[in-house]
Chains A and B, each alone.
Chain A
């Protein structure tokens, strides 16, 4: 379980929240604090007060995969294969194993054709795919995805979700503005003004949003 208790940081105030394993989506208006919450869960930001524990450890003691909402901010290196290999190289893993890991994740994500490209030659969506591959290559305990789906088509999103589910990453926290994506997750948090207003499984949570634009259109259309 991920447990947040008496948490405060800038605009975020969360008294108590428990997030179960699986894929958790975070939704809410622009500027409601979704990215800030994700930064706290990934250990990039440290709470001013209160604690976050992921199976008993703080985020900074946990292996975290992180995809930034600004695709260019994810990238350190100029060649795609170097970028995907970077976290493994930083942790001094043997070269042979790194090559195998990079090729494996690229094949799983259908992006082998991008490996020899430079970052400059990538489209917006391709940059996000490279950032995702770089985050997944190290088999993190928690994968934190900030609006990864806003530059991907639906087919790609579904493929990636399937891959994340089969990869065995215990915790995925993602924020999204696609309610259809949120509806497919296991757990859902709604944020407003730095606070969690509703949490639970998507069916329960969306039931409380029935009268708003946040209700999934496919549910409204009974599809």
Chain B
């Protein structure tokens, strides 16, 4: 199973993003500055944005889903329970897991932003999509919920998962690292070797590497282990 970007290019006015590379099975992390084109790349990979050049080929991918940066864009139901049903799911188990049972008759947009994000990620992660594109999945989530989502991502035993995020501390274990710089997708490669070339690394990770700590990966437990062991 793989997603192949062949000189794929998207343009908006005089701005453009060029992407080349192959996304295989596993967890990929894409980082880049505000406005660098992370969401644009996510939309390109989801097939929701027409390319001005190049192609994106899907091999062996039979289902795909994108979690948009803003959870409010996903709302289609008029109540929280209907929102779950719109994903073809029974609201009971999902809402009790999220502690939202008492809010099931409320309009989705009256939830807090974090609750809304939790709701749509929970519905999406129950399904087993081959290609899962997550644009800023951790924004608005509280610390415990970030950890829970990381665990669910790590439990995906097959498929391609791509995270586009500014998150600073709570990551799942990642297999592959990419960055967007000056309108171009750059392949940094496999973990942990890629860490040394990661220009958008969070300050904490940069400091740990600079002080000679040996990081196996970037999940909180990997960072704590690196501090304790080296």
Chain A interfacial positions (CB closer than 8 Å to B): 28-31, 34-35, 69-72, 121-126, 129, 147, 150-156, 177-180, 212-214, 216-218, 220-223
Q: Does B145 contact A (CB under 8 A)?
A: yes
Check A179 against B144 for contact (C-beta < 8 Å).
no
Chain B positions within 8 Å of A177 at CB level: 114, 138-143, 146
Q: How far is the CA of A71 from the CA of B111 in the complex (A)?
A: 16
Q: List 9 A-B contacts (CB under 8 A).
A: A29-B142, A29-B145, A123-B38, A153-B200, A178-B168, A221-B204, A221-B223, A221-B224, A221-B227
Known: A153-B166, A179-B169, A217-B169. A147 touches B34 (CB 8 A): no
Q: How far is the CA of A154 from the CA of B204 in the complex (A)?
A: 10
Q: How far is the CA of A163 from the CA of B144 in the complex (A)?
A: 30
Q: How far is the CA of A152 from the CA of B136 in the complex (A)?
A: 10
4 smallest CB-CB distances across A and B, nearest first, come from: A30-B114, A125-B34, A150-B139, A213-B143
**CB nearest neighbor in B for A147:** B140
Check A218 against B169 for contact (C-beta < 8 Å).
yes
Q: How far is the CA of A216 from the CA of B168 in the complex (A)?
A: 11
Check B112 against A218 for contact (C-beta < 8 Å).
no
Q: How far is the CA of A156 from the CA of B32 in the complex (A)?
A: 12
Check A154 against B203 for contact (C-beta < 8 Å).
yes
Check B140 against A126 for contact (C-beta < 8 Å).
no
**Nearest CB in chain A: distance from B142 CB, A:** 5
Interface code B97-137, partner A: CB below 8 Å = 1, 0 otherwise?
Answer: 00100000000000111110110000000000000000010
**Nearest CB in chain A: distance from B68 CB, A:** 9
Chain A positions within 8 Å of B39 at CB level: 123-124
Chain B positions within 8 Å of A129 at CB level: 34
**Nearest CB in chain A: distance from B117 CB, A:** 8
Q: Does B193 contact A (CB under 8 A)?
A: no
Q: How far is the CA of A156 from the CA of B166 in the complex (A)?
A: 11
Known: A124-B70, A151-B69, A155-B33. A214 touches B143 (CB 8 A): yes
Chain B interfacial positions (CB closer than 8 Å to A): 12-13, 31, 33-35, 37-40, 69-70, 72, 99, 111-115, 117-118, 136, 138-147, 166, 168-170, 200, 202-204, 207-208, 211, 220, 223-224, 227
Check A217 against B145 for contact (C-beta < 8 Å).
no
Chain A positions within 8 Å of B69 at CB level: 124, 151
Known: A30-B145, A70-B70, A151-B166. A35 touches B227 (CB 8 A): no
Q: How far is the CA of A141 from the CA of B227 in the complex (A)?
A: 42
Check A126 against B35 for contact (C-beta < 8 Å).
yes
Check A150 against B208 for contact (C-beta < 8 Å).
no
Chain B positions within 8 Å of A31 at CB level: 99, 111-112, 114-115
**CB nearest neighbor in B for A113:** B35
Chain B positions within 8 Å of A151 at CB level: 34, 69, 136, 139, 166
**Nearest CB in chain A: distance from B179 CB, A:** 12
Chain B positions within 8 Å of A213 at CB level: 143-144, 146-147
Chain A positions within 8 Å of B211 at CB level: 223
Check A28 against B142 for contact (C-beta < 8 Å).
yes
Chain A positions within 8 Å of B35 at CB level: 122-123, 125-126
Partner of B224, one of A121, A126, A220: A220
**Nearest CB in chain A: distance from B99 CB, A:** 8
**CB nearest neighbor in B for A150:** B139
Interface centre among A124, A156, A220 (most CB of B within 10 A): A124
Check A121 against B12 for contact (C-beta < 8 Å).
yes
Chain B positions within 8 Å of A147 at CB level: 113, 139-140
Q: How far is the CA of A98 from the CA of B96 in the complex (A)?
A: 51
**CB nearest neighbor in B for A179:** B143
Partner of B34, one of A70, A121, A156: A156
Known: A123-B39, A222-B227. A180 touches B168 (CB 8 A): yes
